Amino acid sequence: MPVLHVRAWPLELVNGEPLAGDFVGEEIVALREHVAADFFVGFDAARFPSTSLPALTLVTAAYRRDAALGEHVSLGLRDALFEEGADIGALDILAEIATANGLDVPEVGDREAIMADLDEGRRRGVDGSPHFFLGSEGFFCPSLEIARVDGHLQVAFDPTRFEDFARQALEQL
C-alpha cells in the first residue's frame, strides 16, 4: 500500500510572513461552495496558527519513526486544523497529538529537516501547497482550477487534470 509522504512547505517562510486566518478562510469558503461542501467544516480563522513550524517538526519526528506514522500524524494535524478548528501551533494541542501517537513533542527550534524539505521543494519547482510528485513529475493542486476574478477567489473541480493525476498515480503502483 503506498504511503503519502507530506513534506514541509512552511508558507510563513515561503511568503516571508505568516498566513492570516482570514485569508485562508476565504479560500475555504470558495472550496466549500464549489468543490467540497463536507470538508473544512470546523475551520476557525481566529484559531489559525501563526506558525506551522511546531506542527511540521512533529510530522518530521513521526516520519523518522515510521512512514505510515508520519502520514497518519500529517493527516491528523490536517483534521485538527480544518475539521476541528484546533490551533496546531499551540504546544498543548501538539502534545495531545504526539501522545496519542506515541511520540514526544519535538524541540520546536529543531528546524533542520524542515529547511531541508523547503530547499528540496524549491529545487524541484514547488509552486505552492498542495504540490504532489509522482516520480519526477510535479502536480500543483491537481484537482482544482483556481483563479482570482474581479477580486474574488474562484475554485472549481478540474476533472481532466484530476484524471491525468490519478492515472499517473495508478501507473506508479
Any idea of the CA torsion for 13, 156, 74, 167, to the nearest 10 degrees?
-110
pLDDT at residue 105 greater than cutoff 80: no
Domain assignment of residue 41, yes or no: yes
Q: Which domain holds residue 118?
A: 11-124
Domain total for the chain? 1
Q: What is the pLDDT of residue 153?
A: 85
Instruction: Give the residue ranges of DSSP H helices in 16-111.
Output: 21-34, 53-65, 67-82, 91-100
pLDDT at residue 110 greater than cutoff 70: no
The share of the chain scoring above pLDDT 90, in percent, equals 71
**Average pLDDT, whole number, for the chain?**
91
Q: Which helix (H) or strand (E) holds 145?
A: strand 144-149
Domain assignment of residue 135, yes or no: no
Domain assignment of residue 81, yes or no: yes
Give this prediction's pTM: 0.88
